[in-house]
Structure formats: structure tokens, C-alpha cells
């Protein structure tokens, strides 16, 4: 079951602790200072080998820093083993992600690179080679994996035809390259890629959670959570096609591989109906939207508290109970950073990063901003534990306002 951590803002506290600690990032002018002041009570030994491994995963890391999509980050963070960079399906994924970057560049060199990448994928997906891609999937799932691989091949063929047609139109009209027709099959192909990689992911956590957290719920794998949100004022949500809606449903993927305790807490609370009827209590434009539930979750008279949980990129397991600064790893990037638009994290107080309970926030950083594209994920990196991303209808997050209501939250898969 599920959740992560996120700063508490604008004078709100994340819990009813006697100390009355001011929440982290409570004022706009003090964001950088307040986040950096978070102090954890528990200390864990720093594993130098793990730190080195994280820094050395250059090929994978480079792609993560220029891709600010939560879906892409979730694909990269699936634990596929120490040799994952050599897996054929992961190589295809990287090329598909590269094409996105080429198409954003739009120049002739970038378009030639994209065409070369498309041809490379088509060659790798030739009918006689598709079975090889499925061999890394457990035998019981290979037939289903082959269906997904055939889906990738079909989408790539459609992408190639759309690309050629768009280049022809561009050359004849002297206009710009319109990437939409290419993006649709590319994104569909990546969905199939993710499905294959999910089949390859372990059914158990590939590491042990410390016994001191044995009472906390945990999520093994991933879960989808739907949040129905209704406007609390006279305003309405505006869709991409201009339609006005009183309520919308956004879907988040929460990641129990990268943050099992945070994700587990969130899923457990959603299953209990804890967030039904909760309000959006604050927002900071361009940074975050903060949900209600600031009192925390109590069970048998005791407040449930979730430790700070951070999985470094390239490491086999998270670290618990301390910020990256405290661990001496402040310049090591995270597997699922808070920099991507739609990131979800729990709120904790400024003085104790291990007192998160139920209050959470959505990060709504502009994907084009320098902070969102930063190698280290911005000032929140290592001070909040992201546990997932909103991946469906995420555009509505920027329209959320104080007073809007989470009508219903449910675990959909």
C-alpha cells in the first residue's frame, strides 16, 4: 500500500505534534532555506559502494535528466537487474525516448537522427527477431509479451509513415515539422514497452526493508490510484479542447519498488477512504498543490509516521530516515525525483523529515524550467520522498485551487 513525502507550506503543519514545528517550505521566500533545514532523527551508515554505483550509471542518468515526463521516469526506475542496460527492450525504450528529444529540437540534424533511430527500431523488431526480445521475460508470460512486442512493431511502422509524411509536407510547404502525428504512435509504443518491462520486474522487492518498519504498510510493485476532484468554487476545469468540467479524474501510478513504505501508506489510506472529502488547502503557483489531512492518520490512538524514503539512481534499495545532505549524498540524483510535473510526495515538518503521515502534495513545476530539468531535481531533491506521478489528466493539476475537493480516491489496479 502507498505514499511519499512533500513539504508542508504556508504556515500549515503536517501533524499535531506538541512541538508545533513549522512545515518545510512554509514561505515562498524561505523555500530554499527551509527545505535545506530538514533534520532526521534516525541516521544510517553511508554505503560508499552504493553512492559510486549511482554516479556511474551515466547512460541511464543522462536520459532521465532531459526527460521530465513522470511516465518516462517510471519506466526507467523499474528494477530489471544489474544488467538492465544490456536488455534489448531497454535499448528500444532508450531509442524511443531519444526520438522525443530529437523531435523537440526540430532542426535538420535532429530529424535525420530521429529517422535513423526509427529505422534502427524497425530492424530490431523484424518478425524473425521479435522472439529474442521476449526471451528475457519469464516463460509463463512470453506469449503475452510477444503480443506487446508486436504492438511495438505496429506502432513503430505507423510512426515511420507519419514521420515520412510530415517531412514531405515540411519540405513542400517550407513550414515547421509538426510532431503530433509522430508522437501518438511513439507514445503508444512506449506503453507496450512498459508493459513488457513490467512483466520482467520481480514479484518481490529485490531488497529488505529494515525490521524497525515492519508495522508499516508497504507496496510491492506498483498500483494505479484514481482521484476524482471537484471544483469547490464557481470556477470549472477547462479541458484541452475547451470543454468545461465541474469535476475530473486524475490517475497516479505509485511506485512500490522505489518507495515501498511511502507508496504502501498512500494505497492503504486510499483503501480506507481517508482522502474522500478532503480539500486542497493551499497551492504555490509553479511549484506545488497541497492536499488536506494535515492532522495525520491515527490508528489505535497512535499517529502513523512514515520515514523519509529515498532511492538513489542506480542503487538496489532506498535509504531510510535521513536526507541526502545528512547521508553525504547531496549531489546524487534520485530514481524518481520531485522535479517532474505531477510528482506526488508526502508532507513533513521542517524539523523532522520522518514525521510524514497522510498529507501529500502534487508538484506542478513547468517541465521547461531549468529547475525541472536540473540534474539534481531542484531544492526539494533529497528532502522529500517522491512515490509516484500523475500520468492521466495531469494537465488539470495546474488548475487546482484552495477549496477544491477530493470527492473520491480509489485504487484502480
183-217: pLDDT as tens digits:
999 999 999 999 999 999 999 999 999 999 999 99
238-263: pLDDT as tens digits:
998 999 999 999 999 999 999 999 99
Q: Would the pLDDT of 18 be above 60?
A: no
Share of the chain above pLDDT 90, in %: 55
Mean pLDDT of the chain: 81
Q: Which residue has the higher pLDDT, 224 or 315?
A: 224
Give the model's confidence band at 340: pLDDT under 50 very low, under 70 low, under 90 confident, else very high.
Answer: confident
- Three cell numbers written together for 372: 525541472
Please give the angle made by the CA atoms of 79, 72 and 198, to the nearest 5 degrees: 40
Task: Kindly report the pTM of this predicted structure.
Answer: 0.81
Q: Which of 39-48, 73-82, 96-105, 324-333 has the lowest mean pLDDT?
A: 39-48
What's 304's DSSP letter?
Answer: -
If DSSP codes are grouped into helix, strand and coil, which group holds residue 6?
A: strand
- Three cell numbers written together for 170: 515540411
Average pLDDT of 130-153? 94
Strands annotated E in 260-411: 278-284, 288-291, 298-299, 302-303, 309-310, 319-320, 343-348, 360-363, 386-392, 405-411
278-330: pLDDT as tens digits:
999 988 877 788 887 778 999 999 999 999 999 988 888 999 999 888 888 87
Rounded distance between C-alpha atoms, residue 24 and residue 124, angstroms? 49
pLDDT at 375: 53
Amino acid at each position: 500500500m502507498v505514499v511519499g513525502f512533500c513539504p508542508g507550506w504556508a504556515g500549515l503543519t503536517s501533524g499535531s505534534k506538541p512541538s508545533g514545528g513549522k512545515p518545510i517550505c512554509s514561505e515562498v521566500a524561505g523555500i530554499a532555506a527551509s527545505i535545506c533545514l530538514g533534520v532526521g532523527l534516525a541516521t544510517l551508515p553511508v554505503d560508499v559502494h552504493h553512492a559510486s554505483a549511482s554516479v556511474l550509471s551515466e547512460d541511464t542518468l543522462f536520459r532521465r535528466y532531459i526527460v521530465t515526463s513522470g511516465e518516462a521516469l517510471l519506466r526507467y526506475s523499474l528494477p530489471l537487474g544489474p544488467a538492465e542496460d544490456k536488455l534489448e527492450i531497454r535499448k528500444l525504450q532508450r531509442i524511443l525516448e531519444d526520438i522525443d528529444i530529437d523531435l523537440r529540437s526540430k532542426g535538420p540534424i535532429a530529424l535525420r537522427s530521429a529517422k535513423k533511430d526509427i529505422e534502427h527500431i524497425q530492424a530490431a523488431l523484424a518478425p524473425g527477431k521479435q522472439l529474442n526480445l521476449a526471451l528475457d521475460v519469464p516463460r509463463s508470460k512470453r506469449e503475452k509479451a510477444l503480443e506487446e512486442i508486436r504492438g511495438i512493431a505496429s506502432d513503430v511502422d505507423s510512426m515511420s509513415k507519419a514521420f515520412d509524411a510530415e517531412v514531405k509536407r515540411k519540405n513542400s510547404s517550407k513550414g515547421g515539422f509538426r510532431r503530433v502525428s509522430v508522437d501518438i504512435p511513439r507514445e503508444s509504443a512506449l506503453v507496450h514497452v512498459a508493459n513488457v518491462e513490467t512483466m520482467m520486474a520481480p514479484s518481490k522487492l529485490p531488497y529488505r526493508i529494515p525490521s524497525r518498519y515492519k508495522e508499516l504498510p508497504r507496496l510491492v510493485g506498483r498500483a494505479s490510484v484514481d482521484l476524482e476532484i471537484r471544483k469547490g468554487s464557481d470556477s470549472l476545469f477547462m479541458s484541452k479542447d475547451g470543454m468545461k468540467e465541474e469535476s475530473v479524474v486524475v490517475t497516479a501510478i505509485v511506485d512500490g519498488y522505489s518507495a515501498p513504505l511511502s507508496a504502501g501508506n498512500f494505497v492503504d489510506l486510499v483503501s480506507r477512504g481517508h482522502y474522500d472529502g478532503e480539500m486542497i488547502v493551499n497551492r504555490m503557483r509553479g511549484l506545488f498543490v497541497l492536499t488536506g489531512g494535515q492532522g495525520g492518520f491515527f490508528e489505535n490512538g497512535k499517529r502513523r509516521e512514515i520515514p523519509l524514503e529515498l532511492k538513489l539512481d542506480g542503487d538496489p534499495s532506498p535509504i531510510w530516515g535521513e536526507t541526502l545532505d545528512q547521508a553525504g549524498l547531496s549531489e546524487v540524483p534520485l530514481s524518481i525525483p520531485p522535479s517532474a510535473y505531477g510528482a506526488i510526495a508526502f508532507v513533513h515538518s521542517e524539523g523532522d523529515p520522518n514525521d510524514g503521515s497522510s498529507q501529500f502534495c502534487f508538484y506542478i513545476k513547468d517541465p521547461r524550467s531549468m529547475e525541472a530539468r536540473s540534474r539534481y531535481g531542484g531544492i526539494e531533491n533529497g528532502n522529500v520522498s517522491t512515490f509516484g506521478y500523475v500520468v492521466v489528466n495531469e494537465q488539470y493539476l495546474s488548475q487546482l485551487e484552495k477549496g477544491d475537493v477530493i470527492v473520491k480516491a480509489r485504487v484502480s489496479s
